[in-house]
Amino acid sequence: MKIKAFWRVCALIGALLFAACAPSEPPSTQQPGANAAAAPSPTTAPAHTPASSPATAAETSTPAPEPQSQQWPAWPAITLVETMSGLRNPVDLAHAKDGSGRIYVVEQIGLVQAFEDGVIGQSPFMDIRDRVSCCGERGLLGLAFPADFSSSRTLYVNYTTTDPGGLHTRVSRFRLYPDVHQVDPDSEEILLQFHQPWRNHNGGQVAFGPDGYLWIGTGDGGSAADPQDNGQKGQTLLGKLLRIDVSAAAEAPYAIPPDNPFIGNDDFFDEIWAYGLRNPWRFSFDRETGDLYIADVGQNAWEEVNFQPADSPGGENYGWRIMEGNHCFNPSSGCPTAGLTLPVVEYDRISGLSITGGYVYRGQDHPALQGIYFYADYVTGNIWGLKQVNGVWESELLLDSPYNVSSFGEDEAGNLYLLHYSGTIFQVQAAGRN
């Protein structure tokens, strides 16, 4: 039975993207180390609370299903197959929807590497190190390609910068050179830029939804316990899920989708789709159903996955800092929970300390994985599957890995990849299949 020493986690976690032990961070040269925590690793699925409403929840909150003893027909065994290596702190993986089969990997320092058939390009696909503030939880954090990439030759990134002074989150559009498959760093068009009061909780995900709009995850601004209550404030972009229109028909530099939920509400910025998030490091859409999964990193006790069905009109309040997971964060406040949307699954600090959201598998090579949402913990390396069966959410520990899982990604064919922060990328496969 493996022991993962907790003291080593707290010594190292400040250098990670999703540091959970403390709001401060060590020098950026410190690398995340091997897994380590005081509690033994469980051999079966940990005691998740799969989506029950807390006793403090009001009748008007959005409850998750009551836990039931119901098993999915067969949870698959999985294995990790190394496919790419030699990277420096990979934090995101994307494809361009252009039929090329290329895979693009984001390196936190400010580089994007392009792979063809597992072979890295001779030079970086993108290099914006001159404007990226790295590292700790800062850096080049997210990459997204629009559906018209083949013709527009544009892409979108989310990164932190200290230009023009002070730490900011910046979401920008870049273009490729006309005759070279490489990003022109001078083509940057800044879409959004907002101040980060502390150096942690920067969010980082950018993704195009099935609606064609650009979705952006933002953290609560950092420190600990959200001292400015940004998660619940509508007049800040911090602690939110944003949704904007960056299409060619949009007004420069972007437009507000006409069905965004807070248009006309003076208490909320129009860009906001949902709020009450602490640090939604990774979210993803199910490419088959359009459903949205949001993994939100916890404060002291609970990591969580939130679910938003494809037909949601938006406006969800996911609870932070009123709640942490399904639990009252500050009991002395009374924790008013009317109108909150609670997570469908959570886990405690025995199972992990920093959640990394993944994807619903929709590839063709591994039918046993079909329809399962994969997520992991950065610190313990645990990898779980999540699936809704007859209206009940079931979660199972599928693998206790030795890796610091910084992110997941999928290629154009729907194959699922796991990123190890130390520089290796693995494909997630059903065990026993080549």
Residue ranges of domains in the chain, CATH in brackets = 85-343 (2.120.10.30)
pLDDT > 70? residue 4:
no
Mean pLDDT to the nearest integer, 309-324: 98
Banded pLDDT at 18 (limits 50, 70, 90)? very low
List the Cα angle 385/411/370 in 5-degree steps.
35
- The C-alpha atoms of residue 201 and residue 186 are separated, in whole angstroms, by 28
Average pLDDT over residues 233-238: 98
- The tally of CA atoms less than 13 A away on the side-chain side of residue 213 is 19
Give yes or no for residue 160 having a pLDDT over 80.
Answer: yes
For residues 142 and 157, the answer to whether their CB atoms sit within 8 Å is yes
Kindly state the percentage of the chain with pLDDT values over 70.
82
Residue 151, Cβ density class (10 Å: 0-12 exposed, 13-18 middle, ≥19 buried): exposed
Residue 283 pairs in a beta bridge with 294
DSSP 35-99: ---SSBPPSS------S---TT--TTSBPPPPP-----S-PPPEEEEEEE---SSEEEEE--SSS
Mean pLDDT across the chain: 87
Query: Rounded to whole angstroms, how far apart are CA atoms 218 and 16?
Result: 17
Band of pLDDT at residue 163, cut at 50, 70 and 90: confident
**Does the pLDDT of residue 83 top 90, yes or no?**
yes
pLDDT, residue 330, reads 80
Q: 14 φ, ψ to 5°?
A: -60, -25
- pLDDT at 50 > cutoff 70: no
Question: What is the per-residue pLDDT for 73?
Answer: 65
Say whether pLDDT at 352 is over 60. yes
Q: Model confidence at 434, in pLDDT bands (50, 70, 90)?
A: low
Q: What is the pTM of this model?
A: 0.86
pLDDT on residue 164: 78
Say yes or no to pLDDT of 40 above 80: no
- Residue 331: pLDDT band with limits 50, 70, 90: confident
CA 32 to chain centroid: 19
Cβ partners under 8 Å of residue 311, min gap 6: none
Average pLDDT over residues 98-107: 98
- pLDDT tens, 217-230? 999 999 999 999 99
pLDDT of residue 55 exceeding 70, the answer is no
Please give the single-letter amino acid code of residue 17.
Answer: L
Q: Quick: pLDDT tens for 332-348.
A: 778 988 999 999 999 99
401-427 pLDDT tens trace: 999 999 999 999 999 999 999 999 999
Confidence category of residue 5, pLDDT binned at 50, 70, 90: very low
